[in-house]
A and B are shown apart, each in its own frame.
Chain A
Amino acid sequence: MTKFIAFALGTVASLVVSASVVNAETFKIGLSNGWVGSEWRTQMIDEAKEAAAKWKDKGVDVEVSVQSANVDVPGQIAHIRNFIAEGVNAIIVNPNSPTAFDPIFAQAKEAGILVIATDAEVSSPDAIYVGIDQTAWGAAGAKWLAETLDGKGKVVAINGVAGHPANEMRVAGYKSVFKDFPDIQIVNEVNANWDQAQGQQSMQNILATYPDINGVVVQDGMAAGAWKSITDAGKKDQIAATGEIRKDFIDLWIKEKLNSGATVNPPGVMASALNVAVLMLQGKELKEPAKAGQYGNALYLPIPFIDSKNVEEAAKQLEGKPGYYSYTSSLTIEDAEALFK
């Protein structure tokens, strides 16, 4: 035991020494991603790494250290522990659970580490959230659909994973919009677990059960599947449905002249969070402290929207990229600086 304590003291001492030696403008940032089921996550990490490299021009050395693997909640808590042991300055995490990280984030903060969550909000008062408001994301698609349908018609919803916080917020978002359109009737809501194939399957069932629907609210990659069923059934001119942001779909959208509108959940959110993190590590203060959202710790980023008016522009951004590449946007260093005093 004493050996352990001596060892721990030794490492703490060496940490203190090394911390005082490094230049003030060198930051080490840990990125933790707990799910690698989609290209979106890969792009998210790649964009964050690019954002870190861009700080070189400003004379700031941002070293990123990435942990990305399919893990359960304890596995991701272990990610955070590893970062604490490594002695990073900040941790940016795309969390597997909204609430489970409260104790470990508290420990990170005690160790003087800045913690930022992105893509999914966390309840911890020791972290801030930099990302989009999923409720507003759900509302934006519904608003487009309601307006496209002139405020009346039969609508179905294809949702993600029941019980997943982002899904619940998006559902709350579209419900709050449709409430204001009494002539829009939600005839059914199904869960297709954010899976493209399940989205396609659900849409087939829906079309068989309700041949007279006018609109579909469907999230992310499931939209490509749903649109496949709609096109196969020869109904693409009668149905308006929300879309998604991958190049393959956007190309199809233009080619088939789909009546679609896509709320963008940009993979650049982690890059935005990284830029905010670096500025905070430099000791700058936010003009408006991050106090939004249900947990009172969120800094919401703008949510781009693609509809038939600007879909060509979106396609231009994606030109030459692989088919799975998502339309993206993120705060540049200058954009982020504008948020600070």
Chain B
Amino acid sequence: MAEIATSPTYRRAGGLRRLLERYPFLPALAIVLVLLALNGIFSPNSLSYRSLTGLLSTYMALILLAIAQTYVVYAGDIDLSAGSILSLVNVAIIVLMERWGGGAGAVLLALAIGLLLGLACGLVNGLVVAALRLQAIVATFATSIFFTGLALYILPVAGTPAPTIFWRTYGGRLLGLPFVFYILVGLVVLLAVLSRTRLATQLLAVGDDQQAAYQTGLPVVAIRIRGYLLCGLFSALAAFCITGDTASGDPLVGGKMTLFSVAAVVLGGSALSGGWGTVVGSLLGALTIGLISSVVFFMGTPSEWQNFVQGLAILVVLMAGVLAGRRARP
């Protein structure tokens, strides 16, 4: 990323290329718009205000989990435990809210503890991967089993309703607008702030060339640990959303979401090898996954072919993204 600004060849590039350099998530955005249009063609109802709100409130958890994943992917790492962190935080806050009576104060306190728990999980991952230098893919797979075990200890079977105040707020409205819109706005502001911090650039630098980053004096280990901390934090936020949308605790809820979060990162145009990517792309990638599965249904695909078509569609989108992205990347 840093090279782009200094390299004179790219300054002379055409308008489209310059646009892609500046906003690498544009292909992902175009894909989301195309999918929205397809949904609208096959089922006009799916573009209603209510359906779009629903889409957002259901996929907000995956959006946040994909963003969590993006920060570790920036540095060339991966977190296969993100979904398990989500499950763990989900059951922890559910059990705490119930134990403390479910009032507004209890909810806020439980959420604060949930954030700390997410950070703690991120710290464990960071220490294991960056400080102990275990391979990220296997180490976080192991911690995912560990976190799932903890979640099962806290809540052995799915159940325990969330306090009404919590999920009514998440699924409800504030000043006439759905609550998830405020979450989205808050998220965009948070991402904008984070992308201007030194940490984002440092993560990308580490992902681009770890050796070079080390030689220029960057504290590589500390930076990678901070990446995992951010990942844990956003996984906890994702857990809040899933708790809001499902109003209950489920120790296995996040298991399947991990790989979807990785897929969303890649669909959003980030490179799994690190050093290149945007969080906005991941946000759009998560929406892409959601929109693909609904368009497959609205097209009237027979049930036995739905998985096949969905997989194929994801591949096609991936290829389109790669072709567009190749123009912008050095």
Which A residues form the contact surface with B (CB < 8 A)?
1, 4-5, 7-8, 11, 15, 31, 33, 36, 42, 45, 66-75, 77-79, 81-82, 84-87, 97-104, 107, 123, 161-165, 168
Q: Identify which of B51, B253, B260 contacts A100 (C-beta below 8 A).
A: B253
Expressed in whole angstroms, the Cα–Cα distance for A332 and B48 within the complex equals: 39
Inter-chain contact B160/A99, CB cutoff 8 Å: yes
Inter-chain contact B58/A74, CB cutoff 8 Å: yes
Stretch of B2-10, B24-32, B216-224, B289-297 on the interface side: B289-297
B252 proximity list for chain A (CB < 8 A): 97, 161, 163-164
Stretch of B110-118, B133-141, B239-247 on the interface side: B239-247
Sampled A-B contacts (8; CB under 8 Å): A4-B52, A72-B255, A74-B290, A78-B293, A85-B51, A100-B253, A103-B246, A163-B158
Give the nearest-CB partner of B49 in chain A. A4
Q: Identify which of B48, B255, B290 contacts A85 (C-beta below 8 A).
A: B48
| Given A99-B246, A102-B247, A103-B167, A165 and B46 contact (CB-CB distance below 8 Å) | no
Interface string of B34-50 (1 = CB under 8 A from A): 00000000011111111
Inter-chain contact B49/A71, CB cutoff 8 Å: no
How many residues belonging to B are interface residues under a CB distance threshold of 8 Å?
A: 52
Interface string of B46-89 (1 = CB under 8 A from A): 11111110110011011000000000000000000000000000
Q: Which 6 A-B pairs have the closest CB atoms?
A: A99-B248, A100-B246, A66-B303, A72-B256, A4-B49, A68-B303
Q: Identify which of A68, A164, A165 contacts B306 (C-beta below 8 A).
A: A68
B158 proximity list for chain A (CB < 8 A): 97-100, 163, 165
Q: Identify which of B51, B52, B250, B296 contacts A97 (C-beta below 8 A).
A: B250
Expressed in whole angstroms, the Cα–Cα distance for A104 and B62 within the complex equals: 17
Expressed in whole angstroms, the Cα–Cα distance for A1 and B298 within the complex equals: 24
Which B residues form the contact surface with A (CB < 8 A)?
43-52, 54-55, 58-59, 61-62, 152, 156-161, 167, 171, 242, 245-257, 260, 290, 293-294, 296-298, 302-304, 306-307, 310
A104 proximity list for chain B (CB < 8 A): 245
A79 proximity list for chain B (CB < 8 A): 297
B248 proximity list for chain A (CB < 8 A): 97, 99-100, 102, 123
